[in-house]
Amino acid sequence: MTSFVYRNGALNAERVPLGRIAKEVGTPFYCYSTAALGESYGAFADAFADRRATICYALKANANLSVIRTFANLGAGADVVSGGELRRALVGGIPGKKIVFSGVGKTRDEMALALDAGILQFNVESVPELEILNEIASERDEPAPVALRINPDVAANTHEKIATGTRDSKFGIDIERALEVYASARELPGISLQGIAVHIGSQLTDLAPFEAAFDRIADLARNLLARGLPMVRLDLGGGLGIRYVDEDPPGVKAYAEMVGRIFAGLEVEFVFEPGRALVGNSGVLVTSVLYIKETSARTFVVVDAAMNDLLRPSLYGADHAITPVAAVADDSPRTTVDVVGPVCETGDVFATARSLPPLASGDLLAIGSAGAYGAVMSSAYNTRPPAAEVLVKDTAYAVVRARATIDDLLAQDSLPAWLALSNAGARGAA
C-alpha cells in the first residue's frame, strides 16, 4: 500500500494529510484512496488480461457510490446481493450486462428488478429459488441467464462466520446433486443455463482451499460439457485475502496462475467477484483519542470511533493495524494498551494488549485495512451517527458520505398516534 504514507511527519492519504481532513470533517471518518483502488483493480485486471474474464467487484465490501463509480470507470462489473446493491451498481455506472446477482434469499421483486436491468447472470443457490425465477422470467420474452452456485464441500480455513463452502453452510447446491439439478434446470423455459458459480469463503490467505474447490468445479464443468449441457461461464467468486497485520496472502498473480492451471483446456468465460482484495487496503478509519484511562489492570486508550463504525474486531476478533497519524521515531518507547470505543459493551474493542507509542487526548490514530467491510457494516448503535466517508484523489479530497446528524437519526423514527397525541411529560396532568 503506497497510498497511505508519512510525509513531513504526518500520515497522508495520497497527498492529503489525514490531520487536515480531521480538522475539516471531524472524526471519526473513513478515508479511501483513489490511487489505491486503481492499483488493486489494475492488478486484478492485469492478472486475467490474457483470458475472457469480467471482474465483478463485490459491492458488499464497500458500497459507497464513489467507490463503485471509480471501479465502473476502470471497466469493472459488479457482484450484488440485494435489490439495493443492484440499484447502487447501476447508479454507480456499472452496466447491467456486467452485473451478477448472488445470494440465498432473492425475493421476487429483486428478481424482477434484475431482469429489468438485463443482468449478466443470476447465481442461483437452490431448487426453490430456481423455480420462482423460472416462473417470473417465463412471463417475459427472455429467459433468465443462470449459473448454479455449487457448494463443493471444501473448508476454507478462515473465520467460521465467513466460510461458505462446506455442506453445513446455507450456501449453494450440494455438489453431489449438481448434475441432476443442472439437467432438470435445462427443461425450464424461463431459465437459460450459463454455467457454474462457486464461492467458498472470504479472507483466504492460502491457495490450497481454492485449489481443492476449483478442482471439483473443473471436474463438474467437464462432466456437464461431456453431457452436452450448456456451460459458457465459470464464476469463481471472491475470497482472496489481504494483509491486515502479519498475514501473508498469495498475490493475485499466483491466484491467476493457479486458476489457469486448474481450468486449462476449458473454453469458457470467467467471472471473479473480489471485494476485500480491491478495497480492503485502500481505506483507513481515522479516530481521535478521547482519554487515556489507567485502571489497576490495564491501560485503555478510549477513542471516538467504536464498534458501530467498524464491527470487524468485535464480531470476528479481527486484528487491524493501528498507527498514530503523527509520525513517531522507530526507537520511541512503547506501552501496551487496549484501544477501545465508547460503546457500552465490553466487546467494543479495536485492539487488546497492543504495543503503541505514548498517546494523549486529541492524538489521531489510523486504523488500517478498513476499506472493506467497514463503513458498510456500520450502524447507529448507541445513537452514534456512523463515521463520515471521504475519498482522496491526489491533492484533493471530498466527503462522499456525510456524517448523519442526531436529528437525522431521530427523524427515522415516528410516534404512533396514541403516543403523538399525548405529551409524554404531561400524562395524567389534566
- In the complex, least distance from residue 308 CB atom to ligand LLP, rounded to whole angstroms: 15
373, 238 Cβ separation under 8 angstroms: no
| Phi and psi based region of residue 353 (left: phi greater than 0; alpha: psi -120 to 50; beta: remaining) | left
Nearer CB in complex with ligand LLP: 86/356: 86
Residues that bind ligand LLP (CB under 6 A): 58, 60-61, 79, 102, 162, 199, 202-203, 237-240, 273-277, 312, 316, 373
What is the three-state SS of 129-188? HHHHHHHHHHCCCCCEEEEEEEECCCCCCCCHHHECCCCCCCCCEEHHHHHHHHHHHHCC
Closer to ligand LLP by CB, 58 or 284: give it. 58
- Integer Rg of the chain from CA: 24
Distance separating the N- and C-terminal Cα atoms of the chain: 67
Which of 169, 192 has the CB closer to ligand LLP?
169
Half-sphere exposure of 233 (CA within 13 A, CB side): 22
**Nearest-approach distance from CB 424 to ligand LLP, in angstroms:** 39
Judged by CB, which is closer to ligand LLP: 263, or 373? 373
Name the DSSP letter for residue 86.
H
Rounded Cα distance between 248 and 272, Å, is 21
How far is C-alpha 288 from the chain's CA centre? 25
Torsion on CA atoms 320, 82, 79, 60, rounded to nearest 10: -10
CB of 108 to ligand LLP, least distance (A): 21
Question: Rounded to the nearest whole angstrom, what is the least distance from the CB of residue 352 to ligand LLP in the complex?
Answer: 18
103 CB-contact burial (10 Å; exposed 0-12 / middle 13-18 / buried 19+): buried
* SS3 call for 378: coil
CA within 13 Å, CB half, 146: 30
Q: Where are the beta strands (DSSP E) in 277-348?
A: 283-294, 299-303, 322-324, 335-340
Q: Give the residue numbers annotated as catalytic, written as ranges.
A: 344
Q: For ligand LLP, give the closer residue by CB, 237 or 368.
A: 237
CB of 70: closest distance to ligand LLP in angstroms?
A: 17
Q: Helix, strand, coil shares of the chain as percentages rounded to 5?
A: 35, 25, 40
**Considering beta carbons, is residue 38 or 274 the nearer one to ligand LLP?**
274
Our measurement of the distance from residue 412's CA atom to the centroid of its chain's CA atoms, rounded to an integer in Å, reads: 26
| CB closer to ligand LLP out of 195 and 324 | 195
Q: How far is CA 136 from CA 98, 142, 169, 347, in A?
A: 21, 10, 27, 45
- Rounded to a whole number of angstroms, the minimum distance from the CB of residue 79 to ligand LLP is 5
- Smallest separation, CB 237 to ligand LLP (Å): 5
